Amino acid sequence: MVAQMIEGWNLVIGIEIHAQVNSKSKLFSSSPTDFGSKPNSQVSLIDAAMPGMLPVINKFCIEQAVKSGIGLNAKINKKSIFDRKNYFYQDLPQGYQISQYKDPIVGEGFVEIETENGQKKIGVERLHLEQDAGKSLHDQDPNFTFVDLNRSGIALMEIVSKPDMNSPEEAVEYVRKVRSILRYLGTCDGNMEQGSLRADVNISVNKPGNELGTRCEIKNLNSFKFIHAAIVYEAKRQIKLIEQGECVNQETRLFNTQFGETRSMRSKEDAHDYRYFPDPDLLPLILDDDWIKDLQDSIPELPDQIKERFINEYSLSSYDANIIVSDKATSEYFEDVVKNRNPKLVTTWVTGELFSILNRKNLIIEDSPITSKRLGELVDNIENGKISNRQAKEVLEEMCESGKGALEIIDEKGLSQISDENEIESLVDNVLNSNPENVKKYKNGKDKLFGFFVGEAMKLSKGKANPKIVNDLIKKKLSQ
Protein backbone atom coordinates (compact mmCIF):
# COMPACT_ATOMS: atom_id res chain seq x y z
CA MET A 1 0.00 0.00 0.00
CA VAL A 2 2.81 2.35 0.93
CA ALA A 3 4.71 1.43 -2.20
CA GLN A 4 1.65 2.31 -4.28
CA MET A 5 1.18 5.61 -2.57
CA ILE A 6 4.75 6.72 -3.12
CA GLU A 7 5.11 5.32 -6.62
CA GLY A 8 7.07 7.80 -8.64
CA TRP A 9 8.36 9.53 -5.51
CA ASN A 10 11.53 9.28 -3.45
CA LEU A 11 11.30 9.36 0.31
CA VAL A 12 14.29 10.70 2.21
CA ILE A 13 14.31 10.02 5.93
CA GLY A 14 16.76 10.93 8.68
CA ILE A 15 16.23 10.11 12.33
CA GLU A 16 17.33 11.54 15.66
CA ILE A 17 17.05 9.03 18.47
CA HIS A 18 17.02 10.21 22.07
CA ALA A 19 18.18 7.35 24.26
CA GLN A 20 18.22 7.72 28.02
CA VAL A 21 21.50 6.57 29.55
CA ASN A 22 20.96 3.67 31.91
CA SER A 23 22.44 5.54 34.88
CA LYS A 24 21.30 5.69 38.49
CA SER A 25 21.90 9.42 38.80
CA LYS A 26 21.59 12.36 36.41
CA LEU A 27 24.17 13.69 33.96
CA PHE A 28 25.33 16.64 36.05
CA SER A 29 23.70 16.04 39.44
CA SER A 30 23.30 13.20 41.95
CA SER A 31 19.50 13.09 41.77
CA PRO A 32 17.96 9.68 41.06
CA THR A 33 16.50 8.82 37.65
CA ASP A 34 13.71 6.41 38.66
CA PHE A 35 10.66 6.37 36.43
CA GLY A 36 7.23 7.11 37.86
CA SER A 37 8.32 8.74 41.12
CA LYS A 38 6.30 11.38 42.93
CA PRO A 39 6.46 14.65 40.93
CA ASN A 40 9.43 16.90 41.75
CA SER A 41 10.87 14.41 44.25
CA GLN A 42 14.06 13.88 42.22
CA VAL A 43 15.14 17.47 41.83
CA SER A 44 18.39 18.82 43.23
CA LEU A 45 19.35 22.47 43.43
CA ILE A 46 21.36 21.90 40.23
CA ASP A 47 18.34 20.46 38.40
CA ALA A 48 16.22 23.38 39.59
CA ALA A 49 18.97 25.76 38.35
CA MET A 50 19.39 27.58 41.62
CA PRO A 51 21.96 30.39 41.40
CA GLY A 52 25.56 29.36 42.05
CA MET A 53 25.08 25.65 41.40
CA LEU A 54 27.77 23.98 39.30
CA PRO A 55 27.36 20.85 37.15
CA VAL A 56 29.72 17.89 37.75
CA ILE A 57 29.62 15.24 35.04
CA ASN A 58 28.69 11.61 35.70
CA LYS A 59 31.59 9.34 34.67
CA PHE A 60 29.28 6.40 33.99
CA CYS A 61 27.31 8.46 31.44
CA ILE A 62 30.51 9.34 29.56
CA GLU A 63 31.39 5.65 29.44
CA GLN A 64 27.97 4.62 28.16
CA ALA A 65 28.19 7.20 25.36
CA VAL A 66 31.61 5.84 24.34
CA LYS A 67 30.39 2.23 24.47
CA SER A 68 27.34 3.14 22.39
CA GLY A 69 29.65 4.85 19.91
CA ILE A 70 31.76 1.72 19.62
CA GLY A 71 28.59 -0.35 19.14
CA LEU A 72 27.57 1.98 16.31
CA ASN A 73 30.95 1.45 14.59
CA ALA A 74 31.65 5.12 15.17
CA LYS A 75 34.66 7.34 15.69
CA ILE A 76 35.26 8.23 19.34
CA ASN A 77 36.35 11.85 19.74
CA LYS A 78 39.07 12.18 22.34
CA LYS A 79 38.12 15.79 22.89
CA SER A 80 34.54 16.92 23.11
CA ILE A 81 32.90 20.09 24.34
CA PHE A 82 29.69 20.85 26.19
CA ASP A 83 27.66 23.77 24.88
CA ARG A 84 24.65 25.68 26.06
CA LYS A 85 21.63 25.45 23.81
CA ASN A 86 19.54 28.45 24.81
CA TYR A 87 15.78 28.52 24.74
CA PHE A 88 13.02 29.66 27.03
CA TYR A 89 10.54 27.07 28.20
CA GLN A 90 8.88 26.32 31.49
CA ASP A 91 10.31 22.81 31.82
CA LEU A 92 13.89 24.04 31.38
CA PRO A 93 14.81 25.90 34.58
CA GLN A 94 18.34 26.77 33.42
CA GLY A 95 17.05 28.60 30.35
CA TYR A 96 19.47 26.45 28.39
CA GLN A 97 20.09 22.77 27.83
CA ILE A 98 23.64 21.52 28.29
CA SER A 99 24.34 19.65 25.07
CA GLN A 100 27.18 19.14 22.61
CA TYR A 101 27.21 21.07 19.37
CA LYS A 102 30.31 21.30 17.20
CA ASP A 103 32.40 18.75 19.08
CA PRO A 104 30.31 15.72 20.08
CA ILE A 105 31.77 12.79 22.02
CA VAL A 106 31.09 10.40 19.12
CA GLY A 107 31.47 11.10 15.40
CA GLU A 108 30.51 9.21 12.25
CA GLY A 109 29.53 5.54 12.28
CA PHE A 110 26.96 3.18 10.77
CA VAL A 111 24.55 0.33 11.43
CA GLU A 112 23.42 -2.41 9.08
CA ILE A 113 19.75 -3.17 8.65
CA GLU A 114 17.85 -5.91 6.85
CA THR A 115 15.66 -4.67 4.01
CA GLU A 116 13.58 -6.30 1.31
CA ASN A 117 16.59 -5.96 -0.97
CA GLY A 118 19.12 -7.36 1.48
CA GLN A 119 21.51 -5.61 3.85
CA LYS A 120 21.70 -1.84 3.87
CA LYS A 121 24.16 0.41 5.64
CA ILE A 122 22.64 3.41 7.41
CA GLY A 123 25.10 6.14 8.29
CA VAL A 124 25.30 7.63 11.77
CA GLU A 125 26.26 11.29 11.77
CA ARG A 126 27.07 11.64 15.46
CA LEU A 127 26.16 10.79 19.04
CA HIS A 128 26.25 13.43 21.72
CA LEU A 129 25.40 13.72 25.40
CA GLU A 130 22.77 16.16 26.62
CA GLN A 131 20.33 16.86 29.42
CA ASP A 132 16.69 15.90 29.25
CA ALA A 133 14.09 18.56 30.09
CA GLY A 134 11.26 18.37 32.63
CA LYS A 135 7.73 17.33 31.82
CA SER A 136 4.82 19.70 31.21
CA LEU A 137 1.21 18.68 31.66
CA HIS A 138 -1.06 20.92 29.63
CA ASP A 139 -4.35 19.09 30.10
CA GLN A 140 -4.82 19.23 33.86
CA ASP A 141 -6.31 22.72 34.01
CA PRO A 142 -7.76 25.11 31.42
CA ASN A 143 -5.65 28.04 32.59
CA PHE A 144 -2.44 26.54 33.88
CA THR A 145 0.39 24.23 32.89
CA PHE A 146 1.81 21.83 35.49
CA VAL A 147 5.53 21.13 35.58
CA ASP A 148 7.40 18.12 36.94
CA LEU A 149 11.19 18.46 36.94
CA ASN A 150 12.02 14.83 37.80
CA ARG A 151 13.31 14.20 34.29
CA SER A 152 15.17 17.49 34.17
CA GLY A 153 18.89 16.79 33.83
CA ILE A 154 18.68 13.05 33.10
CA ALA A 155 21.41 12.00 30.64
CA LEU A 156 20.36 11.44 27.05
CA MET A 157 22.38 10.22 24.11
CA GLU A 158 21.16 11.86 20.94
CA ILE A 159 22.00 9.67 17.97
CA VAL A 160 21.68 11.44 14.64
CA SER A 161 21.46 9.37 11.47
CA LYS A 162 22.36 10.42 7.98
CA PRO A 163 19.33 10.83 5.66
CA ASP A 164 19.90 7.29 4.38
CA MET A 165 16.47 5.74 4.79
CA ASN A 166 13.94 5.64 1.95
CA SER A 167 10.84 3.94 3.35
CA PRO A 168 8.89 3.74 6.59
CA GLU A 169 10.00 0.10 6.90
CA GLU A 170 13.67 1.05 6.71
CA ALA A 171 13.15 3.78 9.29
CA VAL A 172 11.54 1.31 11.68
CA GLU A 173 14.29 -1.25 11.06
CA TYR A 174 16.94 1.38 11.78
CA VAL A 175 15.38 2.36 15.12
CA ARG A 176 14.91 -1.32 16.01
CA LYS A 177 18.55 -2.01 15.25
CA VAL A 178 19.92 0.93 17.24
CA ARG A 179 17.66 0.02 20.15
CA SER A 180 18.82 -3.57 20.01
CA ILE A 181 22.51 -2.55 19.99
CA LEU A 182 22.02 -0.22 22.98
CA ARG A 183 20.20 -2.97 24.88
CA TYR A 184 22.97 -5.49 24.19
CA LEU A 185 25.49 -2.91 25.40
CA GLY A 186 23.33 -2.15 28.43
CA THR A 187 23.75 1.58 27.85
CA CYS A 188 19.99 2.25 27.50
CA ASP A 189 17.08 0.05 28.55
CA GLY A 190 15.23 0.92 25.33
CA ASN A 191 11.87 1.14 27.08
CA MET A 192 9.85 3.16 24.59
CA GLU A 193 6.65 3.20 26.60
CA GLN A 194 8.42 4.93 29.46
CA GLY A 195 10.13 7.29 27.04
CA SER A 196 13.67 5.90 27.54
CA LEU A 197 13.97 5.82 23.77
CA ARG A 198 12.14 8.18 21.41
CA ALA A 199 12.65 9.29 17.86
CA ASP A 200 12.37 12.53 15.89
CA VAL A 201 11.90 11.79 12.20
CA ASN A 202 12.93 14.14 9.39
CA ILE A 203 11.21 13.46 6.11
CA SER A 204 11.09 14.95 2.64
CA VAL A 205 9.82 13.75 -0.73
CA ASN A 206 11.06 14.41 -4.26
CA LYS A 207 10.72 13.10 -7.80
CA PRO A 208 13.61 10.84 -8.81
CA GLY A 209 16.31 12.93 -10.45
CA ASN A 210 15.05 16.17 -8.93
CA GLU A 211 16.72 17.92 -6.05
CA LEU A 212 15.73 17.07 -2.48
CA GLY A 213 12.41 18.37 -1.20
CA THR A 214 11.82 20.54 1.85
CA ARG A 215 11.85 18.47 5.01
CA CYS A 216 9.57 18.41 8.02
CA GLU A 217 10.50 17.10 11.42
CA ILE A 218 8.04 14.96 13.37
CA LYS A 219 8.88 15.05 17.04
CA ASN A 220 8.77 12.57 19.87
CA LEU A 221 7.60 9.27 18.38
CA ASN A 222 7.68 6.60 21.04
CA SER A 223 6.71 3.36 19.30
CA PHE A 224 7.64 1.54 16.11
CA LYS A 225 4.00 1.64 15.08
CA PHE A 226 3.83 5.42 15.42
CA ILE A 227 7.12 5.92 13.54
CA HIS A 228 5.71 3.94 10.63
CA ALA A 229 2.29 5.61 10.70
CA ALA A 230 3.71 9.13 11.04
CA ILE A 231 6.02 8.66 8.04
CA VAL A 232 3.23 7.24 5.86
CA TYR A 233 0.92 10.12 6.79
CA GLU A 234 3.58 12.78 6.37
CA ALA A 235 4.80 11.46 3.00
CA LYS A 236 1.23 11.42 1.69
CA ARG A 237 0.64 14.94 2.98
CA GLN A 238 3.78 16.32 1.33
CA ILE A 239 3.12 14.55 -1.99
CA LYS A 240 -0.43 15.89 -2.04
CA LEU A 241 0.78 19.45 -1.41
CA ILE A 242 3.32 19.28 -4.23
CA GLU A 243 0.86 17.68 -6.64
CA GLN A 244 -1.55 20.52 -5.92
CA GLY A 245 1.18 22.98 -6.85
CA GLU A 246 1.74 24.10 -3.28
CA CYS A 247 4.93 24.21 -1.23
CA VAL A 248 6.02 22.15 1.73
CA ASN A 249 6.99 24.46 4.59
CA GLN A 250 10.00 23.52 6.63
CA GLU A 251 8.51 23.05 10.08
CA THR A 252 8.30 20.96 13.20
CA ARG A 253 5.22 18.77 13.45
CA LEU A 254 3.65 16.57 16.11
CA PHE A 255 2.06 13.20 15.45
CA ASN A 256 -1.38 12.91 16.94
CA THR A 257 -1.60 9.25 17.92
CA GLN A 258 -5.36 9.39 18.30
CA PHE A 259 -6.10 10.66 14.79
CA GLY A 260 -2.99 9.24 13.12
CA GLU A 261 -2.01 12.56 11.58
CA THR A 262 0.75 15.14 11.91
CA ARG A 263 0.07 18.73 12.86
CA SER A 264 2.23 21.80 12.68
CA MET A 265 3.88 22.61 16.00
CA ARG A 266 5.84 25.69 15.00
CA SER A 267 6.84 27.10 11.65
CA LYS A 268 10.21 28.27 10.51
CA GLU A 269 9.47 31.90 11.33
CA ASP A 270 9.20 30.98 14.97
CA ALA A 271 12.15 28.62 14.66
CA HIS A 272 14.36 28.62 17.68
CA ASP A 273 17.57 30.55 17.61
CA TYR A 274 19.56 28.51 20.06
CA ARG A 275 22.64 30.75 20.32
CA TYR A 276 24.95 27.85 21.16
CA PHE A 277 28.17 28.64 23.00
CA PRO A 278 30.59 26.54 25.07
CA ASP A 279 29.36 26.13 28.64
CA PRO A 280 31.80 28.10 30.80
CA ASP A 281 30.95 25.83 33.77
CA LEU A 282 32.39 22.78 32.04
CA LEU A 283 35.89 22.10 30.74
CA PRO A 284 36.46 20.13 27.56
CA LEU A 285 36.01 16.39 28.03
CA ILE A 286 39.26 14.57 27.26
CA LEU A 287 39.28 10.78 26.85
CA ASP A 288 42.67 9.15 27.15
CA ASP A 289 43.62 6.06 25.15
CA ASP A 290 43.66 3.70 28.14
CA TRP A 291 40.14 4.66 29.09
CA ILE A 292 38.86 4.10 25.57
CA LYS A 293 40.75 0.78 25.40
CA ASP A 294 39.18 -0.42 28.66
CA LEU A 295 35.75 0.43 27.31
CA GLN A 296 36.48 -1.31 24.02
CA ASP A 297 37.46 -4.44 25.95
CA SER A 298 34.19 -4.35 27.86
CA ILE A 299 32.01 -4.48 24.74
CA PRO A 300 29.95 -7.70 24.71
CA GLU A 301 29.12 -9.72 21.63
CA LEU A 302 26.69 -7.61 19.57
CA PRO A 303 23.66 -8.76 17.53
CA ASP A 304 25.43 -8.83 14.16
CA GLN A 305 28.23 -11.00 15.54
CA ILE A 306 25.85 -13.28 17.41
CA LYS A 307 23.75 -13.69 14.29
CA GLU A 308 26.79 -14.77 12.31
CA ARG A 309 27.82 -17.19 15.05
CA PHE A 310 24.31 -18.69 15.24
CA ILE A 311 24.33 -19.24 11.48
CA ASN A 312 27.74 -20.91 11.60
CA GLU A 313 27.45 -22.79 14.87
CA TYR A 314 23.82 -23.91 14.76
CA SER A 315 23.12 -23.71 11.01
CA LEU A 316 20.22 -21.33 11.59
CA SER A 317 18.68 -19.58 8.61
CA SER A 318 19.42 -15.87 8.35
CA TYR A 319 15.72 -15.25 8.94
CA ASP A 320 15.53 -17.28 12.15
CA ALA A 321 18.83 -15.89 13.41
CA ASN A 322 17.52 -12.36 12.87
CA ILE A 323 14.40 -13.00 14.89
CA ILE A 324 16.36 -14.51 17.74
CA VAL A 325 19.16 -11.93 17.99
CA SER A 326 16.95 -8.88 17.60
CA ASP A 327 16.36 -9.04 21.32
CA LYS A 328 19.10 -9.68 23.83
CA ALA A 329 16.91 -11.64 26.25
CA THR A 330 15.66 -13.86 23.42
CA SER A 331 19.14 -14.72 22.20
CA GLU A 332 20.25 -15.55 25.74
CA TYR A 333 17.18 -17.72 26.25
CA PHE A 334 17.76 -19.48 22.94
CA GLU A 335 21.39 -20.11 23.74
CA ASP A 336 20.46 -21.58 27.13
CA VAL A 337 18.08 -24.04 25.51
CA VAL A 338 20.10 -24.94 22.43
CA LYS A 339 23.18 -26.16 24.29
CA ASN A 340 23.60 -29.87 23.37
CA ARG A 341 20.22 -29.98 21.70
CA ASN A 342 18.94 -30.02 18.14
CA PRO A 343 19.07 -26.35 16.98
CA LYS A 344 16.29 -26.74 14.45
CA LEU A 345 13.93 -28.21 17.01
CA VAL A 346 14.87 -25.56 19.58
CA THR A 347 14.37 -22.75 17.05
CA THR A 348 10.89 -24.03 16.25
CA TRP A 349 9.94 -24.27 19.90
CA VAL A 350 11.34 -20.87 20.87
CA THR A 351 10.22 -18.75 17.90
CA GLY A 352 7.06 -20.74 17.24
CA GLU A 353 5.33 -22.20 20.26
CA LEU A 354 6.90 -20.14 23.05
CA PHE A 355 6.52 -16.84 21.16
CA SER A 356 2.88 -17.55 20.43
CA ILE A 357 2.20 -18.14 24.12
CA LEU A 358 4.09 -14.97 25.09
CA ASN A 359 2.22 -12.97 22.45
CA ARG A 360 -1.10 -14.29 23.58
CA LYS A 361 -0.33 -13.43 27.19
CA ASN A 362 1.28 -10.14 26.19
CA LEU A 363 4.49 -11.02 28.01
CA ILE A 364 8.13 -10.29 27.25
CA ILE A 365 10.52 -13.21 27.28
CA GLU A 366 12.11 -12.04 30.55
CA ASP A 367 8.76 -12.75 32.20
CA SER A 368 8.19 -16.05 30.44
CA PRO A 369 6.27 -18.50 32.65
CA ILE A 370 8.49 -21.21 31.15
CA THR A 371 12.16 -20.93 31.98
CA SER A 372 14.81 -21.86 29.42
CA LYS A 373 15.69 -24.89 31.55
CA ARG A 374 12.09 -26.11 31.51
CA LEU A 375 11.72 -25.62 27.76
CA GLY A 376 14.95 -27.58 27.35
CA GLU A 377 13.44 -30.52 29.26
CA LEU A 378 10.41 -30.44 27.02
CA VAL A 379 12.57 -30.47 23.89
CA ASP A 380 14.54 -33.42 25.35
CA ASN A 381 11.34 -35.42 25.59
CA ILE A 382 10.49 -34.67 21.97
CA GLU A 383 14.02 -35.51 20.85
CA ASN A 384 14.11 -38.87 22.62
CA GLY A 385 10.70 -39.80 21.22
CA LYS A 386 8.91 -39.91 24.53
CA ILE A 387 6.23 -37.51 23.31
CA SER A 388 5.13 -36.37 19.89
CA ASN A 389 5.14 -32.78 18.69
CA ARG A 390 1.42 -32.61 19.17
CA GLN A 391 1.59 -33.92 22.69
CA ALA A 392 4.42 -31.50 23.40
CA LYS A 393 2.19 -28.55 22.51
CA GLU A 394 -0.34 -29.77 25.03
CA VAL A 395 2.39 -30.21 27.64
CA LEU A 396 3.73 -26.71 26.97
CA GLU A 397 0.30 -25.18 27.54
CA GLU A 398 -0.03 -27.12 30.76
CA MET A 399 3.48 -26.08 31.87
CA CYS A 400 2.49 -22.50 31.29
CA GLU A 401 -0.72 -22.78 33.32
CA SER A 402 0.45 -25.00 36.18
CA GLY A 403 4.12 -24.08 36.43
CA LYS A 404 4.95 -27.78 36.52
CA GLY A 405 7.82 -29.41 34.64
CA ALA A 406 7.42 -31.34 31.39
CA LEU A 407 8.15 -34.79 32.86
CA GLU A 408 5.74 -34.34 35.71
CA ILE A 409 2.94 -33.44 33.28
CA ILE A 410 3.79 -36.30 30.93
CA ASP A 411 3.58 -38.76 33.81
CA GLU A 412 0.43 -37.25 35.26
CA LYS A 413 -1.42 -37.29 31.97
CA GLY A 414 0.01 -40.61 30.90
CA LEU A 415 1.08 -38.89 27.72
CA SER A 416 4.27 -40.75 27.25
CA GLN A 417 4.55 -41.92 23.67
CA ILE A 418 4.75 -45.62 22.82
CA SER A 419 7.94 -46.26 20.92
CA ASP A 420 8.18 -49.98 21.61
CA GLU A 421 8.10 -51.72 18.22
CA ASN A 422 6.56 -54.97 19.48
CA GLU A 423 3.77 -53.12 21.21
CA ILE A 424 3.06 -51.05 18.10
CA GLU A 425 3.28 -54.08 15.87
CA SER A 426 0.51 -55.80 17.77
CA LEU A 427 -1.60 -52.63 17.40
CA VAL A 428 -0.96 -52.55 13.67
CA ASP A 429 -1.75 -56.26 13.28
CA ASN A 430 -4.94 -55.70 15.17
CA VAL A 431 -5.99 -52.91 12.79
CA LEU A 432 -5.11 -54.81 9.62
CA ASN A 433 -6.82 -58.01 10.79
CA SER A 434 -10.05 -56.24 11.65
CA ASN A 435 -10.22 -54.47 8.24
CA PRO A 436 -9.60 -57.19 5.64
CA GLU A 437 -11.82 -55.41 3.06
CA ASN A 438 -9.79 -52.22 3.18
CA VAL A 439 -6.52 -54.12 3.05
CA LYS A 440 -7.72 -55.74 -0.13
CA LYS A 441 -8.76 -52.41 -1.64
CA TYR A 442 -5.43 -50.88 -0.70
CA LYS A 443 -3.49 -53.69 -2.32
CA ASN A 444 -5.62 -53.18 -5.45
CA GLY A 445 -4.39 -49.62 -5.72
CA LYS A 446 -6.48 -47.47 -3.40
CA ASP A 447 -3.43 -45.68 -1.90
CA LYS A 448 -5.52 -43.18 0.02
CA LEU A 449 -6.48 -45.85 2.53
CA PHE A 450 -2.99 -45.71 4.01
CA GLY A 451 -4.02 -42.71 6.12
CA PHE A 452 -7.04 -44.68 7.37
CA PHE A 453 -4.84 -47.48 8.74
CA VAL A 454 -2.53 -45.01 10.46
CA GLY A 455 -5.49 -43.20 11.94
CA GLU A 456 -7.01 -46.42 13.27
CA ALA A 457 -3.72 -47.53 14.81
CA MET A 458 -3.24 -44.14 16.46
CA LYS A 459 -6.81 -44.23 17.76
CA LEU A 460 -6.21 -47.67 19.20
CA SER A 461 -3.11 -46.40 21.02
CA LYS A 462 -5.10 -43.41 22.32
CA GLY A 463 -2.76 -41.17 20.35
CA LYS A 464 0.28 -42.41 22.22
CA ALA A 465 1.98 -44.47 19.53
CA ASN A 466 5.03 -42.95 17.90
CA PRO A 467 3.55 -41.91 14.52
CA LYS A 468 6.77 -42.55 12.65
CA ILE A 469 7.02 -46.15 13.82
CA VAL A 470 3.31 -46.69 13.08
CA ASN A 471 3.83 -45.39 9.54
CA ASP A 472 6.89 -47.54 8.94
CA LEU A 473 5.28 -50.70 10.23
CA ILE A 474 2.07 -50.30 8.25
CA LYS A 475 4.05 -49.61 5.09
CA LYS A 476 6.14 -52.72 5.72
CA LYS A 477 3.18 -54.97 6.48
CA LEU A 478 1.07 -53.83 3.53
CA SER A 479 3.87 -54.37 1.07
CA GLN A 480 4.35 -57.94 2.21
| Residues that bind other proteins in the complex, under the rule CB under 8 A | 23-25, 30-32, 38-45, 48, 56-62, 81, 86-90, 95, 103, 136-138, 140-149, 265-266, 273, 275, 278, 280, 282-286
| Least distance to other proteins, CB of residue 466, Å | 57
Cα–Cα distance between 444 and 426 in angstroms, integer? 24
Nearer to other proteins, 69 or 303 (CB): 69
CB of 192 closer than 8 Å to CB of 41: no
> Considering the complex, what minimum distance in angstroms separates the CB of residue 46 from other proteins?
10
| CA end-to-end distance (rounded Å), the chain | 58
CA distances from 59 to 106, 107, 132, 289, 294 (A): 16, 19, 17, 16, 14
Are 196 and 188 in contact by the 8 Å Cβ rule? The answer is yes
68, 187 contact by CB (below 8 A):
yes
- By beta-carbon proximity to other proteins, the closer residue of 262 and 471 is 262
Residue among 100 and 326 whose Cβ is closer to other proteins? 100
Residue nearer to other proteins on the CB measure, 88 or 259:
88
Across the beta sheet with 277-278, the strand order is 96-99, 83-86, 277-278
- SS3 string, 71-107, reads HCCCCECCEECCEEEECCCCCCCCCEEEECCCCCCEC
Contact 153, 28 (CB under 8 A): yes
Distance of CA 288 to the CA centre of its chain: 33
Q: How far is the CB of 399 from other proteins (least distance, A)?
A: 40
Q: Closer to other proteins at the Cβ: 286 or 329?
A: 286
CA 272 → CA 88, 182, 269, 418, distances in Å? 10, 30, 9, 75
H helix or E strand, kind and range, residue 376? helix 372-383
For other proteins, which is the closer residue by CB, 147 or 454?
147
CB of 282 to other proteins, least distance (A): 6
**Smallest distance from the beta carbon of 137 to other proteins, in angstroms?**
7
Contact 221, 192 (CB under 8 A): no
CB of 277 to other proteins, least distance (A): 9
CB of 232 to other proteins, least distance (A): 24
CA 176 – CA 192 distance, rounded (Å): 11
Q: How far is the CB of 98 from other proteins (least distance, A)?
A: 12
CA atoms lying within 13 Å on the CB side of residue 435: 21
Amino acid making up residue 305: Q
> Of 87 and 319, which CB lies nearer to other proteins in the complex structure?
87
Which residue, 140 or 244, is less far from other proteins as judged by CB?
140
Q: State how far the Cα of 193 lies from the Cα of 230, in Å rounded to an integer.
A: 17
